[in-house]
Each structure stands twice: as structure tokens, then as C-alpha cells.
Amino acid sequence: MAQVTRQRVLPIQFRLPPRVLGTMVFRRLLCFSLAVEGLADMDFIAKTFGQDMDFLWGTATASFQVEGAWNASGRQPTIWDDWFHSGAHARRYDADSYNWGDVADDFYHQWPQDVERIGSLGFNAFRLSIAWSRVMPYNVPNREGVDYYRRLLTNLKERGIAPFVTLYHWDLPNDKDWLDPKIVEQFETYVDYCFEVFGDLVTHWLTFNEPWSFCGAYGGDRSPPATNSTAAKYLCGHHMLLSHSAAVRLYRAKYQADQLGKIGITLNYDWGEPYNTSSEADQYAAQLHHDFNLGWFADPVYLTGDYPESMKRLLGEDLPKFTAQQSQELKGTFDFYGMNHYTTSWIRAQEGVVPPLSSTHQRDDGTFIGPQQQSSWLYVVPWGIESCLLYIHSRYGDVKELVITENGVDVKGESQVPFPDILNDTVRVNYYDQYLTHVAQARWKGVPVKGYFAWSLLDNLEWNDGYEMRFGITHVDFSVSPPKRYAKASSKWFEALFDLMTPLTIIS
């Protein structure tokens, strides 16, 4: 008997390879459940991306949210450790049960089974972050921390899973501050060491995850450092951009030619649609929403080397200024565009605030923009991700490669659902099916989408919201030690999707 392998030709009718016949019943049931709300679009998604052998399909995590082992391997405490360990900020129902980030998912010890899960589902990429405080505590290189990440990265690469590595995902060492000008040099020293010791194993680097979020913490009082200062918020963003610029220029000058990796940044961008599309005031407000949420960081990196004119005009002295050299160095510091997206809101003009706008998910007649989920801000609005992609493609035309680095949903009430019913996360299945359909539509319209990462691989610590918000395609039972993993229906949905895109193997 000879074994003949042939590549599937799309868009001819899909045929499942032999190894997925066991999931046929699951897929039929899945399509039936989706028919309640609309057509099942798995075939369309597979048709769109199935022949792109370079497309990255991954799941995502972040060090502080999953690792635990907060005082192991010489790790320095972070601002989030200090925040949670101080009684003023602990939320009792979570702190008593799960010890905040001290244990979390125990990924530090259980990563081998998690990596095996990633590979068995068919993902070819995995997004993780390196903890600055574990690799370089108190500014001193830490071999034990390095060895942990090298074991993890080596295992990923041996399995054919591309490591997509974030250098900073909010867990700032507790002796540092984004308001301090020295942070730029400190960050450059840290990333230089990371490039040196991990660069042979990393295909894609992200300098930062969602600066809008971690710099926004300076402008409020809900997350560390909670300075409640508008000026501090924008100073943080300024130092972050200078740090990003320094990191990218360093990588290009010293490492990229030999290591052949790519480098960029991840920006969160939840679409803002004019409340009244016929209102010039609401249209202008929606553009301000784009400028202040996305353009704040995207314009300097991908377009002009400077902030949007609307921000400079409305913020005045609260917005720092770049020198001509800084602006020149900052522009073009990317190899790809990283986008996090979850939801969409309506934007209305509003006087008396800066910027002069308000965001809402509900119309005056009581109509909601979509079904609300566990997070108060997260409504399911699938068309919003397509609007985001088309806007980015239109405004930042130099971007030739766009990767969706986070997309997912925390199903309303999921943490209260008993086991094993909690594994039947049909709302999440519908979310991925519908959102990825709009990603595929954007791809057909010319947006160069080259990767998609589901948030998240695991239920994990959602920062100040603790463990109530569950985003994982894998259920984690935090009530046992160590926390135990169980596959949800959403993970099986991805497995079935990948099986549609698997080359046929025919035995003759």
C-alpha cells in the first residue's frame, strides 16, 4: 500500500481528513447550534485562510495572568504583586480563593501540558510574554529565569509552534516607573538581554501590549500605579513610545540580520461607530475616538512619527512633544501591525469633556449594540472587527502584515455554571465563528491579515476582575491544587476548523 499526500484545492467542496472523522458529530451539532443565530461560517473561514501556509493561528497568554510562582526563580515583585498584596486593593472573594497572581494557572510548572494542548488542537503559534522581573530582577540578569523561558521556547519550536513573544505585558518591576525618563534606558537594557538570550528561538517580538491600558492606569485609580493624573497618563505613553523606538532600532541594528525575526507592537482598538451616522458632530466625535484610542500610538509608529493633530490641539501642554530626531526615529518602527480587539460602541458628541465625546452601548430607545457579556464593556458586535481592519488598512497603508494578537469573549455568568456544563461554551463558539467571518471578509477586501490569536488559551487572572471573567478556550478549575484544565467546546471548534484546512492524506 502506498501513501499519497495531496493538497486540498479551495474553494472546491471541503472533505474532512480521516483523523477528524471522530469530530464529525461535534461539527454537525455545532453547525446546528449556530443555525439558531445564523449560518455556520467555518467553511468560509477555512476557504479564506486554508491555502495560506504562512498564516499564524494561535492562542495567547500573559506572564502575570497565568504563571504564578510569584516568588520563585529569583523573580522580583511587580507593581501588580504589590497592588494585590496590599489589603486596600484585595477583593476578598477572589483573594481568598485563588491568591490573585501568586498561583494563577500555575503555568510556570504546568506549561508542558499546556504546550501539548496547543499543538494537539492544531495551533501553529503561541503568544506569551516574558516577565521583566523574572529575567532581570533589580537590573541583574537572572539565569534561572532565563532557563525557564528557554525551555518553554525550545519546546514550542520543536513542536513547530511559532513563539510570538511580548516583552512587556503590564507586569512592571516594582522599583520602576513609566513616568521616570530613565525607564527608556532601563527598558532598552532589558530587551537587549532578551534579544541576546532568546532571539534564536523567537520568530516575532512585540515590544508592548496595549499601552492605552497600562498608561491609562496612570489616569485613574483602579489599577496600579493609579496616580489619577491626565498629564501622567500621557507622559507614560510618551516614554513608552520612546522605549519602543529604542527597542526596535536596537533589534534591527544588532540582531535582526542574524536572527531573522520580526518586531512590532500590539495596540488595542475597539471600534467606535457614530451614534447618528447622519450627524456631522457624531462623525467628528467618532474620528476623535479613533485618534485618542488608536492614533495616540499608531500615528507616531505607522504614519507620521508624531501624535494626531486633534490630540495636540485638545490636550495642549498635557501632551509631551517629540524632538525632530525622536519623531524621525520613531516613524516606521514596525515589521507588522499587532491589533487587539474585543467589542464596539456608539460614539456621540458631548461638550465639556476632553475629548468632546461619550461612548454608549445603548440607544435612547433601549436598543443595545449587541449582547452584553461578563465584562461591563464587552458587547458582542462581530461587524466591528471588520470596520477596525478596514480603517487600519486605509489609514496606515504602509502596513503589509497585520496580526490580530487578541480576540475573545468572557461569557456572561460562565464562572457560576456548574461542571461539566461550563465546558459547553456555545456563546464563545458563536463569537469566534462570527468574528472570524468578518476577519475573512476583510481579508477578501484586501486587508493583509496574516495571523489570529484567540484570547485566551486558559481561564486566567483578569487583573482587577480576578477570576470572575473567563476568556479561556480551556476551563481551569482553580479550586484544586494545582489548577486543573478541561477542554471547552470552543477549543474543539478551532480543532475542527484546522482539520478543514489540513492537507488530505489518502491511503491507496
Q: Which residues are catalytic?
A: 210, 406
Considering only CA atoms, give the Rg of the chain: 22
Say how far apart CA 191 and CA 205 lie, in whole Å.
Answer: 10
Quick one: three-class SS letters along 335-349? CCEEEECCCEEEEEE
Cα–Cα distance between 36 and 31 in angstroms, integer?
A: 9
Residue 449 grid cell: 491579515
Whether residue 456 is preceded by a cis peptide bond, meaning omega within 30 degrees of 0, is yes
Give the end-to-end CA distance of the chain in Å, rounded to a whole number.
6
Q: Are 273 and 396 in contact (CB under 8 A)?
A: no
- Enumerate residues 6+ apart whose C-beta is below 8 A from 229: 218, 219
Q: Say if CB 243 and CB 215 are below 8 A apart.
A: no
List CB contacts of 431: < 8 A, sequence separation 6 or more: 380, 382, 408, 409
Q: Are 116 and 76 in contact (CB under 8 A)?
A: no
Residue 268: which H helix or E strand, with range? Answer: strand 262-268
Q: Which residue has the cell 446546528?
A: 32
Residue 209 C-alpha from the chain's centroid: 7
Instruction: Output the CA–CA distances (angstroms, integers) from residue 12 to 159, 370, 464, in the order listed.
Output: 30, 34, 48
- The closest of 25, 43, 21 to 33, measured between CA atoms, is 25
What is the number of other CB atoms lying within 10 angstroms of the CB of residue 154? 13
CA distance 117 to 16: 21
Q: Which of 475, 347, 364 is nearest to 411 (CA)?
A: 475
d(CA 323, CA 333): 16
Which residue type, as a one-letter code, is found at position 483?
Answer: P
Residue 104, all three cell numbers: 494563577
Question: Which grid coordinates belong to 462?
Answer: 483578569
Crossing angle of helices 426-444 and 489-500, rounded to 10°: 30
What grid cell was written down for 382?
Answer: 462581530
